[in-house]
Amino acid sequence: MDMQVQAEGQAPGVDPHERHGARSYLIGLAYALTLTLASFWAASTSLVYAPAVPILLATLAIAQMGVHVAFFLHISTAPDQANNFLALAFGVFVTALIVFGSLLIMANLNHHMMPMDELMKMQR
């Protein structure tokens, strides 16, 4: 382990000690394939209680994103990766704000909007 790298932190995806190697990509591929197959199965099966399917799909997608981040991008919570991990956490936070915030606001607007035909009547 070279001291220089330790002291300076680590760029994302960098693997100077070949700690991950080809094995990491193969393990990642196995997990990702399993999760992808599970997603496509969940979307077309009738075995799962239908209203639960979107939640199951979201869980599988988030799990697969985690697999990609850990095994392909090699982002971890190691001390030399603090900057990368903090940036990732902030990115996830902003993403969640944008997506859930938009859905919440638009659903609320829809809820409070007067039905279109009544609106037309008022304009006459």
Give the CA distances from residue 12 to residues 85, 94, 114, in Å, rounded to whole numbers and listed in that order. 9, 20, 50
The distance of closest approach from Cβ of residue 77 to other proteins in the complex, given in angstroms and rounded to an integer, is: 10
Among 44, 46, 49, 51, binds other proteins (CB under 8 A): 44
**Number of Cβ within a 10 Å radius of residue 10:** 20
CB 111 within 8 A of CB 37: no
The distance of closest approach from Cβ of residue 75 to other proteins in the complex, given in angstroms and rounded to an integer, is: 8
**Number of Cβ within a 10 Å radius of residue 24:** 16
Binding site for other proteins (CB under 8 A): 1, 3-15, 18, 21-22, 24-26, 28-29, 32-33, 36, 39-40, 42-44, 54, 57-58, 60-61, 64-65, 68-69, 72-73, 78-80, 83-84, 87-88, 90-91, 94-95, 98-99, 101-103, 106
